[in-house]
Amino acid sequence: MTVRVRVEGSLLTWARDRSKLSLEVLSSRFPALAAWERGEAAPTLKQLENYAHATHTPIGYLFLSTPPEESIPIPDYRTIGDTGVTRPSADLLDTLYLCQQRQDWYRDFALRNRQDPLPFVGSLNTSVQIIEAAAQMRTVLSFDVSQRGNTWTDALKTLLEEADAKGILVMVNGIVGSNTHRKLDPNEFRGFALVDDLAPVIFINGADTKAAQIFTLAHELAHVWLGESAISDTDLTSSTANVVERWCSQVAAEFLVPIDTIRGVSVDEIVRDGEIERLARRFKVSTLAILRRIYDAGILTWEQYRRVYTEELERVLRMMEERTGIGGGNFYNTQPLRVSKRFARAIIISTMEGETLHRDAFRMLGFRKVSTFHQLAHRLGVMH
């Protein structure tokens, strides 16, 4: 006899919403889902296990009487139209928890190896002038305009390598872990910072454009200098009242595009074809970031800025839709970026020295094969 499991329909609906999968998509695998949610039918235990797996939900949650209140364990400064965002997705939560695990591991590694705390972490506060704060970051990270290379990819690579060299674990990934079926949504979040004086972690949503990733990285670096963990979406049209988030965005903008270099631009030049793109290419930022700096310089009113920004955003979104996927690339090139080169080297060394179990290393690095481990070690220069 088939045994059915009675679960609250609201929990099945909650798991579906949390996974960001539609009823139509899930019904293709679970034809009776709508009836389960209405309480008119019940799944078998195997069906419930499969449903939990499909929605990336811990199965124990589905046996509760009401949906749990899941919260992000760091300050959440994301906004959509100046409104706070609620109910994080499973993709966001799983990414955040994985980064916390890596951070905890690396902090222990740093303590065992008697690494010194990083002097710049928490070295600034929101009373420091924006121009001064950006100058301090630019000096430590060696990221003047002349040092950014020829393309956005060059600039992002340069800034990533500088941050890594200074002790910051920067992880850039467009999917959850190594699961190519779970693409991260830039509209939900663009990045976050987990601040620690021995193991600061910055995560950048790799599904975003390269230009957007550069601004997000600069924004999260400002959080590190400030000593404040947070998750954000770096919305350039947001007029957030939050002091920390506003300060970090202003410092990031000044870090990338010094205001003095923009003051000479006229309104006529802004509307002229190609001028915004020229400035974006020069500073290796997005056209949207350039527009924000033009507004910051007092050249556009808030109404003018919002109108021009909306038009440019629509153009950028159309271009993104025309792109053919995010591109996987070579695993041994992309995986160190996903977990941070500094973290990858450290955990490989620790595992080879017998301090870390291969099982734990594989889980945090995102693969299962010993051969992959050895090949990655070779690529990172850890094993010869």
Do the Cβ atoms of 106 and 346 come closer than 8 Å? Answer: yes
Burial-class residue 129 by CB neighbours within 10 Å (0-12, 13-18, 19+): exposed
Mean pLDDT of the chain: 89
Instruction: Give buried/exposed letters for 305-321 (b at 16+ CB in 10 A, else e).
Output: beebbeebbeebeeeee
CATH class of 9-63: mainly alpha
Which tens digits make up the pLDDT trace of 227-274? 999 998 766 666 667 899 999 999 999 999 999 888 777 767 666 667
**Counts for the chain of helices (H) and strands (E), in that order:** 17, 8
pLDDT by 10-residue block (mean), the chain, 384 residues: 88 95 96 96 96 96 93 82 67 96 98 97 97 96 88 91 97 94 92 98 93 93 97 70 89 94 74 78 89 87 86 77 54 87 96 95 92 91 74
Do the Cβ atoms of 72 and 83 come closer than 8 Å? Answer: no
Half-sphere exposure of 40 (CA within 13 A, CB side): 5
C-alpha–C-alpha distance, residues 334 and 177, integer Å: 12
Question: How many residues are present in the chain?
Answer: 384
Q: Provide the pLDDT for residue 304.
A: 85
- Tokens at 212, concatenated: 């957007």
C-alpha–C-alpha distance, residues 29 and 158, integer Å: 45
Best CA proximity match to 142, nearest among 115, 116, 166, 168: 166
Read out DSSP for 131-173? HHHHHHHHHHHT--GGGS-SSHHHHHHHHHHHHHHTT-EEEEE
C-alpha–C-alpha distance, residues 177 and 95, integer Å: 7
The residues spanned by each domain of the chain are 9-63, 84-256, 258-323, 331-379
User: Which H or E element spans position 365?
Assistant: helix 358-365
Q: Provide the pLDDT for residue 384.
A: 59
C-alpha–C-alpha distance, residues 194 and 363, integer Å: 20
User: Which H or E element spans position 204?
Assistant: strand 201-205
List 201's β-bridge partners, or say none: 169, 194
Q: Provide the pLDDT for residue 219.
A: 96
Q: Provide the pLDDT for residue 371.
A: 92
Q: Provide the pLDDT for residue 303.
A: 87
C-alpha–C-alpha distance, residues 199 and 118, integer Å: 9
Q: Residue type for 342, please? A: R
Q: Provide the pLDDT for residue 202.
A: 98
Best CA proximity match to 376, nearest among 357, 339, 342, 348: 348
- Tokens at 318, concatenated: 């159309």
